[in-house]
Structure 1
Amino acid sequence: MWFSTLLPFVTLALTFTSSASAQDFDIGELERKPLVTSAALQRRIHRDNLLRHARNFQHFAEQTSKTTPNRAFGSVGHNSTVRYIKKLLDATKFYDTQLQTFPYTYAEASSNFTANGVILPTKSLFYGISGDVTAPLFATGNLGCVPEHFPASVEGKLVLIQRGDCIYGIKVALAGAAKAAGVIIFNDVPAELSGGSLGGVSRPEGPYVPVGTISGTAGLDLQARLAAGEEITGVLKAYGLVEERYSSNLIATSKQGNKNQIVFSGSHSDSVPGGPGINDDGSGTMGNLETALQLTNFRLNNAVRFGWWTAEEFGLVGSTHHIRNLPQSERDKIALYLNFDMIASPNSGFFIYDGDGDTFQRPGPPGSAQIEKLYEDYYKAKGLISRPSNFTGRSDYGPFLEVGIPCGGVFTGHEGVKTDEGVQWWGGQAGVVYDPCYHARCDTYENLRVETFETNVKAIAHSIAVYSMSLETIPFPRAASSISSRSADEKLHVETLTYEERRHYGCDHAHEVSWQ
């Protein structure tokens, strides 16, 4: 494991002399612009512009790494993404832009293990150190939770230990104290371990050594073979990185329009470390960007705010930071929040967040049902079938829901499997997930379903235009009964999770939460 603190040079790299200041705003020019309408704004959305953004995002990902292109938060590629968006917006002089820069722990780990040349599926543990180990495999025959579990004969060996009784960090540190070369932890049930961490960057029991985890079935098989006298050589290749990274949310608010009735639209600007994230969530990020750029051709009744969130893939970090630090008086000015996360999946469907809760019994705050209806009508007018998507809290609308702000948005699917009926509605392949490249290296420029992408960006434009013209269908200002009663220091849901739970929050249905 390599641990470092990135100094605030990242902050400096993302600090701009914004051209979007109040004195740059030409009132005369504004008065000559037409009032925004849905039809007019939709006409300005073109796939060529969206694909130009996509090519740039792919390039940014490759700036981080040629071998594993990504835009993980705080990386070169992510910083380039934020810088690109801000530069384009500032050039319009239509928005006041703000960077919210703050640190958060970045952790990455991977491991591979073979036994006598046979590859065994292996998982890694956060805070594990890097190292390549080739050594005889040694079974302790115990759980490795006290020094006595590690005889002198473990020195230089790759130690096989079963999960249980103590945390992983203690097992690995005690093995390090006994001068073991590395550790393989096997599950206490047949399945593979789902991941986890060593609990911290170091422990007092001893130094960490490289570690990987395997299934209970594989571990018991190796243990039995060793007990029968077979000599097994293990090869473990482990990689671990922990560092404090600075990264930024980017907030852009229109200089015109009623600032007490803000229409807010957001998406996350980062990707997972394993891929460039051109659909997840380059598509939502680009959709909001292009809508924001084209909106500058119009006058607005209500102010429009766009948010590009950092570190969503590590547990809604950016959006949670924003809501956590936003005073209640400012929350009360947000009429609604729209979220766009994965809107161009290659085997896509048209999904709308279930604002009224009639499908998943998890309604959003008052106003969310009306947002859902607006998108239902949009797709119906285009001759398209839509279906509801559950408000799970697994994307950046989660913190807004928790504080009582009505939410909505559209989505094209990720790990769900398309049915035969879905093929009849939307085309594509039955029995295949909506995005086979979800959280993978292949989530590239070529992973976008372009027609769907354009349709959904026009859906963004439609909702922004409608609500910036009028909030007549939205109950606003909110009734006192619908405003969250949580105290200022009460934690939002993701803040109650451990680091590793939060790190995998977007993939973990066990932590779904209702705003109520």
Structure 2
Amino acid sequence: MLDEYGYDVDMPSFSVPDRYLGELASPGLDAALCWGVGAAARGALDVSVTGPVVVAESADPLALPEDLGGAVVLRPITAANENLTAFVLAVQARGAGAVIWTRVDSAYPRQASAFVPSLSTASPAATIPVVGVGQVQKHALLDAVAAGPPTLTVTTTHHRNLTSYNVIGSRPGTGRPDPTRQNVMVCAHYDSVIGARGANDDGSGTVLTLELARVLRDLPTSTNLQFALWGSEEVGFVGSRTYVAGMDAGARAAMRGVFNNDMVGTSWDPAERYWGLSYDGQPNVVNAEVLAAGDRLGYRTHMSDVTQRGASDHQSFQEVGVPSGNFSWRGADTPALLEPPYHSADDTIAANISAERLAVSIEIIGCATYALARA
């Protein structure tokens, strides 16, 4: 899409660690949810198992039938210290085909995410797949069982030798000679976590970045414009840190500012504040332009002052002295107050996107970007 808008597009690759993932499938499952799950590295991988779901109401596997006949055993745990390894080996000995492990429900508004279960290396590896589901997935599975025990297919995959990509579209400015021209960047990350569709985190930031690339493509600017989509943000800002590591001192000095957009469209009612987050907590030209744009557009009363927080790709740039900020809709009291679908199976467009908030985000960042790029 960036190339269709006339940008020069670069897609540098980088390596990422192996991933251990799974998928649940059944006609009885809610198709609106994401059914990606984490898979235990010491369980069976690259396999697919189908069987009836049996709920283990007790942490004691001896409470289950002696012959589980290939059943998929779902254990909705009630205490975080339950012994996963002992449970898996015991139900495996009773003929289980797979194990679905859960987490204790998180306190509202947070919800436990899907995860990679960890089996002890002090015990033999399991010969059946073992997967970890999120809170929303767990309750949807329990509802499906209550409606009539479903037959479930559990698939696990060990993804090896992985490569991820950054996507960077650039266009030159129309003023000042090339050697003295600076760069202004708008960016977001395009990856998601296990078990989440990623509509708000961070499909919303990706949409904002692409829309501003379209809108600003023909406007005159004194700086170069860049629109970047980072890979592998959710596993430690790998994409943006790889990009920053490849910048020499001259390239860093030429970067006038980076507008990072992470979760800019949630429809959760309490997320009524638009937060301007800075890794070092200090004002810079980026968050100053965003606040000024808010004033001009009449949105300032919904916006925070500059607030210290990392935890997104702006951190990669601020760590090396490049002016940057992260912008996001969150709860009014603290930027730590995130919507219930955060990193959850119900982070979908239908359940978790406000077109109005997304449009406001686009207006604010578009005005701020253009102001900085034409200065």
Matches of 2:258 and 2:193, distance apart in 1? 24
Matches of 2:221 and 2:369, distance apart in 1? 10
Deviation at 1:446, TM superposition (A): 8.0
Matches of 1:382 and 1:457, distance apart in 2? 12
Secondary structure at 2:348 match in 1: coil
Structure 1 pair 157–271 and aligned structure 2 pair: CA distance change class (3 A): closer
Q: Does residue 378 of structure 1 match 2:297?
A: no
Secondary structure at 1:343 match in 2: coil
Contact 1:249 1:318 in 2 (8 A): yes
Matches of 2:100 and 2:326, distance apart in 1? 44
2:275 corresponds to = 352
Gapped regions of structure 2 (runs ≥ 5): 26-35, 134-148
Deviation at 1:459, TM superposition (A): 1.6
**What amino acid maps onto 1:411 in structure 2?**
S
Matches of 1:243 and 1:126, distance apart in 2? 11
1:219 corresponds to = none
Corresponding residue to 2:320 among 403, 406, 420:
403
Q: Which has the higher strand share?
A: 2
Structure 1 pair 465–185 and aligned structure 2 pair: CA distance change class (3 A): closer
Q: Which has the higher contact order (CA 8 A, sep 6+)?
A: 2
Deviation at 1:274, TM superposition (A): 4.7
CA RMSD of the aligned region, Å?
4.9
Corresponding residue to 1:197 among 116, 119, 123:
116
Structure 1 pair 165–102 and aligned structure 2 pair: CA distance change class (3 A): same
Superposed, 1:232-311 pairs within 5 Å as 238-244=154-160, 245-256=162-173, 258=178, 261-272=182-193, 274=195, 276-311=197-232
Corresponding residue to 2:364 among 459, 468, 471:
459
Structure 1 pair 320–126 and aligned structure 2 pair: CA distance change class (3 A): farther
Q: Which has the higher helix share?
A: 1
2:311 corresponds to = 394
Structure 1 pair 251–169 and aligned structure 2 pair: CA distance change class (3 A): farther
Contact 2:70 2:98 in 1 (8 A): yes
Secondary structure at 1:265 match in 2: strand
What is the number of equivalent residue pairs in this alignment?
323
**What amino acid maps onto 1:208 in structure 2?**
T
Corresponding residue to 2:257 among 317, 336, 340:
336
- CA offset digits 1:387-413 (Å, max 9, x no partner): 247543222212222223221243222
**What amino acid maps onto 2:274 in structure 1?**
F
1:322 corresponds to = 243
Deviation at 1:304, TM superposition (A): 2.1
- CA offset digits 1:234-255 (Å, max 9, x no partner): 9986443332454421112223
1:44 corresponds to = none
Matches of 2:277 and 2:49, distance apart in 1? 47
Secondary structure at 2:318 match in 1: helix
Gapped regions of structure 1 (runs ≥ 5): 1-84, 113-122, 143-152, 215-232, 356-361, 420-431, 471-516
TM-score (norm 2): 0.64
1:72 corresponds to = none
TM-score (norm 1): 0.49
Contact 2:117 2:132 in 1 (8 A): no
Secondary structure at 1:88 match in 2: coil
Contact 1:138 1:157 in 2 (8 A): no
Deviation at 1:205, TM superposition (A): 2.9
- Asked which structure has the greater CA Rg, the reply is 1
Contact 2:292 2:368 in 1 (8 A): no
Contact 2:289 2:372 in 1 (8 A): no
